[in-house]
Structures are given as C-alpha cells and as structure tokens.
Amino acid sequence: MDTKTTIADLLAAKRQNRKIVAVSCYDYTTAKLISQTEVQMILVGDSAAQVMLGFDSTLPATMDFMVAITAAVRRGAPNVCLVADMPFLSYQVGKSEAVKNAGRFAAEAGAQMIKIEASGAYLDVIKAVSDAGMAVMAHIGIRPQSISKIGRFKAEATTAEMALELITLAEQMVYAGASSLLIEGTAAEVAEIITKRCEVPVIGCGSGPSCDGQILIAPDILGLTQGPSPKFAKSYSNLANRTIEAFNEYSREIQAGQYPDKEHSYHMKAGELGRLEELLKGKL
C-alpha cells in the first residue's frame, strides 16, 4: 500500500463489510516488511515487554520504551494505521496524565490511535483523551494489565450475565468517545453481538470470526515463538526452526574458515598491496 491507511478507511471497511487486518509489531525491521503487504493496521502493544524484553507480563513496559518502539515502527511502516498502546500506570493515575502521555504517542511517534485497556472506571479517561483530539481504541475483555489483580486469565463473557456486562461496557466506551474497540479473549457469540451493535470498527483478538478485523502478534504469525501460545494464536510459518538453522550454518562456516570469503571482504585497490609491502620494507 502506498497511501496511509486512516481511521476513516477503517470505518469505511466496517460499513462495507470488508475485514480489517491488524498485526502487533514492535520493531522497525518487521514493520518495514509488513508495510509491503495488505495489512492495514499495526498495533505497537505493551506485549513488547514479554516478546522483546522477556518479562512474564506486560507491566514493566514504560512510556519511554513504548514511545521509542512506536516511533521505530512508524519509520518502518509510514503507510499503515498506527495504534500505540498505553502502558501500565500511563493513564491510571488521572486524566491529565493520560492526555499528556497519549499526546506523546501522537506528537513523538506519529500514532493515529491510542489504545487503552479500559474498565468502567476509565470511561472518563477515554473521554478526556478523545476530547483532546486523539482517537482512542478501547481494549475490553481480557485486559493483560490487570493480571496482578485477577491472578490468571480466562475467557470473558461466557455466561449471559457476564455477556450483558461486556456488551454494556462496549456501548459505554463508544458513547465516551472511543473510535474503535479491541476485544480480547471473549466468547465469539458475544463479540459478534458487540460488533453488530457498535458503529465503530471492532478488532478481535481471540474473540471469534465475526469482528470487523483480527489481530495477532507478529512473532506468532511468523512461528518465531517457542513454548505454549494462546488457544487463538495461529502460525503461518515456522521461522523459529529456520532461524536456528541459519545461525547454526553461520557458526559452521566461521569454524570451518569458509566465512568471510573473498566475495564478502573489502580489498585494497590494484597495486596498492605491493606499494604497502615496499613501504613496510622501508620501516625495517
């Protein structure tokens, strides 16, 4: 895609029943590759704390870290709709702090939309950031930043009462000013109802096929992650094994003296080696 995908484009896709393709990505190199595909949206998620830094939760991600990697992704993919993820404690401490931090993503990193993990307690934050002129993606369903409070994650809205609560929350988020919703780990039937009832684009993450779009993290798509993955994660390649093979081949060539060879080395200009040898003789 040559032209930048806008929020208006996403809304048009929803209204025309065209699926939105989104990827969570954290670095310039991967973003540059994604920019050459049909993917319309990149979310720079705070899951980078786990995928890039090796933590066991998203909580250690800081604003400075998130702004830096979001800016890197923008440089790699200037044509996508870029969504930045507000990390833990970047908005929970108050509306003014939330607006300030959201503004950093817009001004310093070129983000077009700000994602906020939102319960009913943060409707005023959604409204404040929206009123400040920034588009908000409200993240509902499973909310990874709440892991320290709930202990472990389980599928959301699996009972009628829970479903009604989440549907109501989704509608409240839109009323507060959310331009989009991300629904994670939610019963497919409920995600479908929310998608039909809400006028804004709804992106699903482990929430069934009826959302307006879908998102997975790039390492899962590429088959780079090792070990257990969420039930909804699907790999479209097996780059982990191929990457290991490449590093092993690199190691073998070095140990065998095959790399670097003449082709992969720089060389003196013609005749200069002889001149150097003469100069060295003069120094003996």
Cα(72)–Cα(31) distance, integer angstroms = 8
Report CA-CA distances (Å) from 95 to 92, 111, 265: 8, 19, 57
pTM above 0.75, yes or no: yes
**Whether residue 152 has pLDDT greater than 80:** no
Calculate mean pLDDT across residues 190-199: 98
- pLDDT tens per residue, range 228-280: 888 899 999 999 999 999 999 999 999 999 999 999 999 999 999 999 999 99
pLDDT at 146: 73
**Whether residue 114 has pLDDT greater than 60:** yes
Tell the CATH superfamily of the 7-237 domain.
Answer: Phosphoenolpyruvate-binding domains (3.20.20.60)
Residue positions annotated with a catalytic role: 184
Calculate mean pLDDT across residues 30-46: 98
3-state secondary structure of 82: strand
Averaged confidence pLDDT in the chain: 95
Domain ranges of the chain: 7-237, 243-282
| Both structure tokens of 47 | 């899951």
Under 8 Å between Cβ of 217 and 47: yes
Rounded to the nearest 10 degrees, the angle between the axes of helix 63-76 and helix 95-109 is 30
Name the residue with higher pLDDT: 155 or 96: 96
Cα(170)–Cα(180) distance, integer angstroms = 10
pLDDT at 246: 98
Cα(272)–Cα(284) distance, integer angstroms = 19
At residue 147 the predicted structure's pLDDT band, cuts being 50, 70 and 90, is low
pLDDT at 259: 97
pLDDT at 1: 53
